[in-house]
Amino acid sequence: MHITAYSKALLSNWFYIEPLRLLLDAGEGIGPFLESRALGIQDVFLSHAHVDHFTGLRLLLLMRRRGIFRNESPLPPLRIYFPATSGVFQRYFAYLAGEFFDWDEMVELHPMMPEDRVALRTGRDLEALAMEVQHVPYDLCLGYRIVQKRWKLRPAFQKLDGKAIRTLIEAQGREALSDRLEVPVLVFSGDGKPLQDEASRGAMLLIHEATFLDPDTSDVHSTLSEAITAFERLEAERLLLYHFSVRYTPAQITAALERLVPDATRRSMIHLVLPGHLFDQTLPIKMFG
Give 66-75 pLDDT, tens digit per residue: 766 666 677 8
Is residue 154's pLDDT more than 80? Answer: no
Distance, in Å, from the CA atom of 107 to the CA atom of 220, rounded to the nearest integer, reads 31
Q: What is the pLDDT of residues 32-45, one digit of tens each?
A: 999 989 999 999 99
Greater model confidence, 132 or 163: 132
Greater model confidence, 277 or 121: 277
Query: Domains of the chain: which residue ranges?
Result: 2-282
Amino acid at 111: P
What single DSSP character describes residue 234?
T
**Beta carbons of 243 and 14 less than 8 angstroms apart:** no
Distance, in Å, from the CA atom of 188 to the CA atom of 113, rounded to the nearest integer, reads 16
Could you tell me what percentage of the chain is helix, strand and coil, using 3-state DSSP and rounding each to the nearest 5?
A: 35, 30, 40
CATH superfamily of 2-282: Ribonuclease Z/Hydroxyacylglutathione hydrolase-like (3.60.15.10)
Distance, in Å, from the CA atom of 149 to the CA atom of 181, rounded to the nearest integer, reads 6
Greater model confidence, 145 or 175: 145
SS3 (DSSP) at 193: coil
pLDDT at 218: 75
Sorted by sequence, the CB contacts under 8 Å of residue 225 that are 6+ apart come out as 215, 260
**Beta carbons of 1 and 282 less than 8 angstroms apart:** yes
Q: How many CB atoms lie within 10 A of CB 198?
A: 8
CA of 164: how far to CAs of 150, 167, 289, in Å?
Answer: 20, 5, 22
pTM for this structure?
0.91
SS3 (DSSP) at 259: helix
Distance, in Å, from the CA atom of 133 to the CA atom of 189, rounded to the nearest integer, reads 7
**Nearest alpha-carbon partner for 17 in 179, 240, 226:** 240
Answer left, alpha or beta for residue 33, where phi above 0 means left and psi between -120 and 50 means alpha. alpha
pLDDT at 191: 95
Q: What is the DSSP string of 95-162?
A: HHHHH-TTHHHHEEEEEE-TT-EEE-TT-TTEEEEEEE--S-TTS--EEEEEEEEEEEE-GGGTTS-H
pLDDT at 71: 61
Answer left, alpha or beta for residue 176, where phi above 0 means left and psi between -120 and 50 means alpha. alpha
Lowest mean pLDDT among 108-112, 212-216, 274-278, 285-289: 285-289
